[in-house]
């Protein structure tokens, strides 16, 4: 995992270079229509540290985009934009045992319903740091 200033979002595929777009992610062999992009709120990472003492860097979360000031759970079932890219929120991105194994941190319980959002990329384009996020 590494931070980027910008990345190409490919409609129906994912983010250019991402493990799921390349078909090599841990769960790539399991059918799913909503692995195009995942988002997590920076506020939840901060809440995790304050409430449990567990620090989790954005890159450790294994989510593609870290947001600020956005109620991600409210975007389930809704279309929204990140800059010019149009996404469809599909479901919460719940924590899993794989995330715990990779990080070595007990994340399942404290991140239930707080670990981010899965979305499909409907209209591709470039996502850049600082892009506004807005519901359509």
Digit-coded pLDDT (tens) for 4-19:
899 999 999 989 988 7
State how far the Cα of 17 lies from the Cα of 132, in Å rounded to an integer.
23
State how far the Cα of 79 lies from the Cα of 69, in Å rounded to an integer.
17
pLDDT in tens, 66-85: 999 999 999 999 999 999 99
Q: Which two tokens stand for residue 107?
A: 């994340």
Q: Model confidence at 103, in pLDDT bands (50, 70, 90)?
A: very high
- The CATH fold assigned to 6-135 is M1 Pyruvate Kinase; Domain 3 (2.40.33)
pLDDT at 28: 67
Q: What are the E-state strand segments in 12-113?
A: 14-15, 37-41, 65-67, 79-82, 85-92
pTM of the model: 0.91
pLDDT at 135 over 80: yes
Which sequence spans correspond to the domains of the chain? 6-135
């Amino acid at each position: 995992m590494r931070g980027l200033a910008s990345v190409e979002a490919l409609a129906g595929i994912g983010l250019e270079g991402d493990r799921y777009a390349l078909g090599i992610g841990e769960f790539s062999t399991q059918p799913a229509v909503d692995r195009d992009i995942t988002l997590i709120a920076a506020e939840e990472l901060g809440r995790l540290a304050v409430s449990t003492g567990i620090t989790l860097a954005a890159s450790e979360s294994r989510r593609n985009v870290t947001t600020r000031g956005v109620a991600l759970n409210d975007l389930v079932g809704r279309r929204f934009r990140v800059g010019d890219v149009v996404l469809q929120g599909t479901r919460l991105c719940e924590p899993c045992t794989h995330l715990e194994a990779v990080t070595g941190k007990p994340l399942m319980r404290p991140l239930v319903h707080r670990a981010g959002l899965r979305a499909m990329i409907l209209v591709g384009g470039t996502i850049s740091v600082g892009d506004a996020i807005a519901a359509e």
